[in-house]
Structure formats: structure tokens, C-alpha cells
Amino acid sequence: MSGDGWITIGVIVGMVVVMAANLAGPDLVLIAGLTLLLLFGVLEPSDAFIGFSNPAVVTIAALFVVAAGVKETGGLDLAARVVLGRPRSLAGAQLRMMFPAAGLSAFLNNTPVVAMFVPLVTGWARRCQFSVSLMLMPLSYAAILGGTCTLIGTSTNLVVAGLAETRDPTVKFEIFEIAQLGIPALCIGMLFIVIASRWLLKDRQGALQELGKAREYTIAMRVERGSPVIGQSIEDAGLRSLRGVYLYEIERDGRVLAAVPPSTVLREGDRLHFTGVVDSVVDLRKQRIVPDTDQVDKITARRDRSLVEAVIGAHSALIGQTIKQSRFRTIYDAAILAVHRQGVRVTQTKVGDIRLQAGDVLLIESHPDFAQNRQRDPNFALIAEVEDSTPPRHDRAWLAAVILFLMVLVNATGAMDLMTASLGAGALMLVTRCLTGEQARRSLDWTVLIAIAAAFGIAAAIEGSGAGAVIAGRIIDLAEPFGRVGVLVALYAITAVLAGLVTTKASAALMFPIAASAAEVQGIGLLPMSYMIMIAASTAFSTPIGFQTNLMVYGPGGYKYTDFLRLGLPLQTLVGISTVSIVAVAWL
């Protein structure tokens, strides 16, 4: 092997060690590795940065926007609430949850799908009296498995497809062809989870935010026309067991209903009084329950609004005035919804009658630019926007669903390639106002895009330096006594282990050139080998760091690292056996 090959192997080993030790993010590690290969002359600049112009990277960026359009219209939340219902058994509950999560993840990036499901499933599990820890890990696994059923289900699939098409432009990937591996893996995975999770997972307490440790507000919300909670009881609407917020009374037709029972049916126009933390107020808005004060009605026509927390400064002109006297809405074109004072929520019949003091924390509904534009305002000591607080555009949920369906349809029928279809769908999301330009920009996960683009350069170095061929030769030598199936097993196992130690995308980028070289020597087609690497890299069940959705449920589920090994390792083994068997039967 040449000197360039040894340098490449050294850089790869260094990257794996750094990522496995979690010393830096994959994007920084891959860019650092690319820089070293450039400095040592292993790569030319044109090869190092070839990934930044690859169609797979552009496609992934466009799919981020499409997924954000569906999310911002509330389509994901509505679909999940309709499907979940009230199951009677743990197995029924897990299946009701996993089917929609897997189905949505097959066509959308699974990160926003899991982000939407986590608070939804947490409250739903408590209402149905099921352990949250028996729900959230299966949720993550279902989303991962759903992503293996289509080419666009996860960005890892698109990375491998891009690498394969760069190596051999004649290779073409159909959007549903990988389903012959993904659907069996999904069925086996869900069956295993339903049977084994009750014994392999423990009932743990999640790291939930306690009321006493966060800023609490007392806030009035109104059930608006078209809200999905109209006609439902408080319990069925999910308002009895909310995380971090409590419904303490309802105001209806001038009457106050205190200590309302869970069976109380909600009506349009009901004024609901809650006490709780701000993150829970954000969750309420997603059910079309809107803030109700004497100020907010005058700005609710504005679609592009969000929640902001602002601290009144020591020398603020607002001190000593009531909210109504301060003319806050007129001056700032924003409405104060609630006030938190010195560790205590401020309760008042009308928000407008609260007299402001220095140090008060105001919960404000405003234009999204409020926090940025008022940073130097002497009336406020500190201003911060509440994350993900823009209300969903429910009236456009059907439109976002139609756009997503058309994107899949034109690609599946061969009328349009995936990059063009996804770019067109992203553009339609913006043109139809399913999301704003700012929301589209925020939806782009630049750490993922940079890591993926850099991965193409790393793959070029592995192939061009001869390191890939040498490593593939060593693997073939060890596995050759077991035939081509043995080679498949070895490549699958190494890819899966790497995915758990580093990340799925890094594992795919490092192993694909090696697997492609092995496929060429063994007479295995590049297409089936690519599909196998997609599955092996994507299904990182056995560690919380391998896949982002595992990390997202780690804290809320109260899991320990060993929980992922206990349930994930046998699941990963079963999926591997299924995948290798199908590849061997169908393509060898």
C-alpha cells in the first residue's frame, strides 16, 4: 500500500477515536480529517470538496425544508393524535405509536418526527397509565426502521446513494426499491419490540422539568374555532395529564367552573386557566388553544408570531404602571400574556391590571423579530425568544400533505429525479406559505449537511489512495472461507459497529468505498451492496449516540446506556440476519 493509503488509514482511525470518545461533533471531525488529507497531499481541492456539489447533499437540504413545512402546519401532530387513541394493552399502545412514527419517517426526516412525538407520547402514555420508558425507545427504533423503507427515509440512505452514483453513474436508485429490505426489517423489529421490551426495558423516571424548578406562569387560553379539542372531554383532549402545566378552572358564558372533573366536555370559546411552565404553553398552542387576554385579540390576525420572555430592567419606564397604562401593545405591537415575579407566578383577574415591577419576567406574544430588535431597549434587562413557539398554520396542513404526496409520486413514477422533486416541493412549501423563509432557513441542519458533504471527500480519499481496496482485501481474506455470504456478514457487522461508535452517516461514508471494492472483487452488484450498507449504517440501535433520535429520547425516557444495549443489540442482530439473508437470496 502507498504512503497515501497509510496516511488515509491513520486519519480514519483518528476520526473514529475522536467521534467514539465524543470529543467533537461529526461535522468538525470530518472537516478536520478532510483538511489533514489536503495538507498531506492525499486529496486535491477539487476532490476534497466534491461533496458540496453532490445532488445528495442538495436533496437532503431540500427535504429538511419539506419536513419543516409539514411540521409547521401541524400536520404531524394532527395525524398522530388521530391514530393514537386509547389502547387497552401495552402491546396495542406500542403498535399504535410505532406504525404512524414509522410511516411518517419513511417520507420525512425522522428527527422532526420524533421531536413531535416525544411530548405527545409522554402525555399520552401517562393518560393511558403506561410507562414512558416502555414507549420512547420503541418510538426511536420505529422511526429508524421506518427510514429504511424508502430512499428518502433517512439522509444516510441518500449519502450511500450519492457515493454509489459517484462511483458508477449507471447505477440508479428507485425510491421504494430498498423497501424489500426495509419492510421485513420493520416487521421483525416491531414484533421483537412488542414481545421483548416489557422484559428487557425497565420502568424508569424521565428527566422531566418540575414546576418548582422553572418559571411558572398563570395564563388564560381560549378554545378557538376548529380546535380538535372541541367536543372532547378534558381527559380525552389530553389536558388533564399535561407535563408541567395544570388546568385549574374553566370560564364559560360568564360562569367559572372550578376544580373541573376530567369528564367535562370542552366547547368553542371556553376560557381555560392554566398554571405551569412556558414550554407547556407552547404545547397547548399546537392544539389550537390560543392565548386569551384583553390585549392579544388585537394582534392574533398576525400569523408570524411567537413567544418571547423579557425581564424588566431596574430603570425601566414600565415600572409602577399597570400593563394597560403602559400602552405596551400600542408601543411594541406585542401582547403581555402573563407575568412571573421573584419566583412566584402573578395571578390577576385581568392581565392588564397587573402593576409591573423591576425584575418581572414577562411572557410576550410578538412578531418573531421582537427579541432581536429590542436587545438594546433600556426597558428590558434581558430578552429571549421561546424556542419553537410559532403557532402551527393548521389551515394549510392539507396543502403540505398534498405537496409531500406529489413529491413522492413524481419521483416514484420516474417523472422527476429526487433532487428536482424535493427542490420543487420545498419551493411550493414556501410559495403556499406553509412555512416562512426564516423557518425554512432554521430547518436546515448545517452540521448534518457539512458532515455529509465532507464525507464524500473522505470516501474519495479511501478509494483514491488504495486504502479501501487493501482493507476490503483483508476482510475478504478473513471471510473467504465462508463464501460471499461471509463477506456480507463481515461488512454488515463492521458497518453496524462503526455506526454505534460514531454516527450513521460517518459509518456509511467510511465503509462504502471498502464495501464497494469488496463487491467488485466478489462479483456482488454495487446496488445490493449499497442497500445493505444503508441498512447496516442506519439501524444503530445499541447505543444512544449512534442515531440522533436515540439521544432525543435518552433524557425524557430516563434511560441508562445499558438499556440501549439490552434491547438494541438483539434487535440490531435480528435486522442484520434479515438483511443479509434477503440480499443473499435475491441478488447473489
Q: Is the confidence at residue 273, as pLDDT, over 90?
A: no
pLDDT of amino acid 344: 64
Please name which of 81, 118, 75, 66 lies closest in space to residue 551, comparing C-alpha atoms: 118
| Residue pair 572/496 in contact by the 8 Å Cβ criterion | yes
The pLDDT mean for the chain works out to: 81
> Cell numbers of 544, please?
444512544
Q: Would you place residue 210 in the very low, low, confident or very high pLDDT band (cuts 50, 70, 90)?
A: very low
Q: How far apart are CA 424 and CA 408, in angstroms?
A: 11
Give the position of cell 400600542.
Answer: 330
% of the chain surpassing 90 pLDDT? 17
Q: Is the confidence at residue 297, as pLDDT, over 60?
A: no
Question: Is the residue at 233 inside a domain?
Answer: yes
Cα angle at 403 between 399 and 407, to 5 degrees? 170
Question: Is the residue at 453 inside a domain?
Answer: no
Q: Total structural domains in the chain?
A: 1
Q: Would you place residue 211 in the very low, low, confident or very high pLDDT band (cuts 50, 70, 90)?
A: very low
Q: How far apart are CA 346 and CA 219, in angstroms?
A: 10
How many angstroms separate the first and last alpha carbons of the chain?
30
pLDDT of amino acid 428: 94
Please name which of 385, 317, 309 lies closest in space to residue 356, comparing C-alpha atoms: 317
pLDDT of amino acid 178: 93
Please name which of 540, 463, 513, 516 lies closest in space to residue 20, comparing C-alpha atoms: 540
Give the burial string for 129-139 (b: 16+ CB within 10 Å, else e): ebbbbbbbbbb
The model's pTM: 0.67
Question: Is the residue at 359 inside a domain?
Answer: yes
pLDDT of amino acid 78: 63
Q: Per-residue pLDDT tens for 433-459?
A: 888 888 888 888 787 788 778 878 887
Please name which of 217, 300, 292, 285 lies closest in space to residue 252, comparing C-alpha atoms: 292
Count Cβ atoms below 10 Å from residue 184 Cβ, excluding itself.
17
Q: Would you place residue 184 in the very low, low, confident or very high pLDDT band (cuts 50, 70, 90)?
A: very high
Q: Would you place residue 301 in the very low, low, confident or very high pLDDT band (cuts 50, 70, 90)?
A: very low
Q: How far apart are CA 505 and CA 496, in angstroms?
A: 11
Q: Would you place residue 212 in the very low, low, confident or very high pLDDT band (cuts 50, 70, 90)?
A: very low
pLDDT of amino acid 108: 79
Instruction: Determine which of 19-28, 84-93, 569-578 has the lowest per-residue pLDDT on average.
Output: 19-28
User: Does 350 or 407 have the greater pLDDT score?
Assistant: 407
Please name which of 397, 327, 352 lies closest in space to residue 81, comparing C-alpha atoms: 397
| Max avg pLDDT among 15-24, 201-210, 212-221 | 15-24
Cα-atom radius of gyration of the chain, to the nearest Å? 26
Spatial CB neighbours of 576, under 8 Å, sequence gap ≥ 6 = 489, 492, 493, 496, 536, 539
Question: Is the residue at 458 inside a domain?
Answer: no
Positive/negative CA dihedral, 504, 505, 510, 515: positive
Q: Per-residue pLDDT tens for 95-143?
A: 999 998 899 888 877 777 787 777 678 767 876 778 888 999 999 999 9
Count Cβ atoms below 10 Å from residue 23 Cβ, excluding itself.
10
What is the residue range of 319's domain?
211-385
User: Does 227 or 34 have the greater pLDDT score?
Assistant: 34
pLDDT of amino acid 240: 65
> Cell numbers of 37, please?
488529507
> Cell numbers of 135, please?
414507549
In this structure, what CATH number is given to the domain that contains residue 348? 3.30.70.1450
Residue type, position 89, single letter: S
pLDDT of amino acid 22: 67
Question: Is the residue at 221 inside a domain?
Answer: yes
Residue type, position 554, single letter: Y
Local structure of residue 233 (DSSP, 8 states): B
Question: Is the residue at 195 inside a domain?
Answer: no
Q: Per-residue pLDDT tens for 37-64?
A: 999 988 888 888 888 887 878 887 888 8
Give the position of cell 426564516.
Answer: 438
Residue 274 gets the label, from left (phi > 0), alpha (psi -120 to 50) or beta, of beta
Q: Is the confidence at residue 180, as pLDDT, over 90?
A: yes
Q: How far apart are CA 289 and CA 76, in angstroms?
A: 17
Q: What is the mean pLDDT of residues 204-217?
A: 52
Instruction: Provide φ and ψ at 217, rounded to 5°.
Output: -130, 150
| Residue pair 395/362 in contact by the 8 Å Cβ criterion | no
Q: Is the confidence at residue 255, as pLDDT, over 60?
A: yes
Coil, strand or helix at 347: coil
Question: Is the residue at 368 inside a domain?
Answer: yes
Q: How far apart are CA 372 and CA 382, in angstroms?
A: 11
Q: Would you place residue 347 in the very low, low, confident or very high pLDDT band (cuts 50, 70, 90)?
A: low
Question: Is the residue at 254 inside a domain?
Answer: yes
For the chain, what's the residue count?
Answer: 588
User: Does 243 or 194 have the greater pLDDT score?
Assistant: 194
User: Does 177 or 245 have the greater pLDDT score?
Assistant: 177
Q: Which residues pair with 335 in a beta bridge?
A: 365
Q: What is the mean pLDDT of residues 457-466?
A: 79
